[in-house]
Amino acid sequence: MTKALYPGTFDPIHNGHIDIASRASAMFDEVVLAIYDAPPKKLLFNTEERLNLARRALANLPNVSVVRYGGLTIACAREVGANVIVRGLRNVADFEFEQQIGWVNREMAPDVELCCLFCNDSYAFLSATILKEVASLDGEYTRWAPEHVRRALREKYAHDGEAATSIMSKSQSKLTHRG
Ligand code: ADP
């Protein structure tokens, strides 16, 4: 049986992630989407919220489960019994990052294979950061995330102005005119 681990921050899960998870679910017997609980970046959603949003987004894929993890990704792979790590590639920057981390992981865990899937071209520009930026500026992003994720973003930005501005100061936004 081939079990794949799909690790990431998923803050929040979006259609680019869902596309990779769903294609991986057709390739492997089981896919475990693993949500890293303390990345070295500011988060909008806490771990519980990210887990719930991802579980709901992937509920129609019976061989995909969602877990949280901390520590090394390869340790998580071993813990869940995954022999493959799946990652999505959008561009050259993603490729260079995955190549370096892939080599390091192979040094530490040669039995765990890396499988990078090119993203769907409709989502090549999409990152969780862009999604949050557009949501915080009240832009249109219907095609980028499922309804329950869009609702969660609207609620965050409507009720938690502080969270919104701490993630993305409008003066730092690349999507507004900066003179
Ligand atoms: P981000 O914050 O950039 O959206 P994560 O750190 O949560 O992404 O990434 C988890 C995995 O999902 C990574 O392998 C990443 O390359 C992949 N990924 C991110 N965005 C996309 C996208 N638009 N299409 C396909 N894969 C993506």
Is 98 a pocket residue for ligand 1 (Cβ < 6 Å)? Answer: no
The mean pLDDT value of the chain amounts to: 92
pLDDT score of 40 = 77
Q: Enumerate residues 6+ apart whose C-beta is below 8 A from 3.
A: 28, 29, 30, 31, 32, 80, 81, 82, 83, 84
Domain that holds residue 149: 128-171
Is 10 a pocket residue for ligand 1 (Cβ < 6 Å)? Answer: yes
Angle, helix 147-159 to helix 47-57, in steps of 10 degrees: 150
pTM of the model: 0.91
Q: How many CA atoms lie within 13 A of 95 on its CB side?
A: 6
Number of Cβ within 10 Å of residue 91's Cβ equals 11
Tell whether 136 and 58 lie within a shared domain.
Answer: no
Is 146 a pocket residue for ligand 1 (Cβ < 6 Å)? Answer: no
CATH number at residue 60: 3.40.50.620
What's the 107 CA to ligand 1 centre distance in angstroms?
A: 23
> Which of 9, 20, 115 maximizes ligand 1 atoms within 8 Å of its Cβ, making it the mutation to test the pocket?
20
Tell whether 149 and 118 lie within a shared domain.
Answer: no
Tell me the pLDDT tens digit for each residue of 122-136: 999 999 999 999 999
Tell me the pLDDT tens digit for each residue of 142-171: 999 999 999 999 999 986 555 555 555 554
Asked if residue 178 belongs to a domain, the reply is no
3-class SS of residue 65:
strand
Which atom of ligand 1 has the smallest separation from the CA of 126?
Answer: 23
Tell me the pLDDT tens digit for each residue of 25-48: 999 999 999 999 987 778 999 999
**Tokens found for residue 108:** 């530490």
Asked if residue 93 belongs to a domain, the reply is yes
Tell whether 70 and 133 lie within a shared domain.
Answer: no
Confidence of residue 179 (pLDDT cuts 50, 70, 90): very low
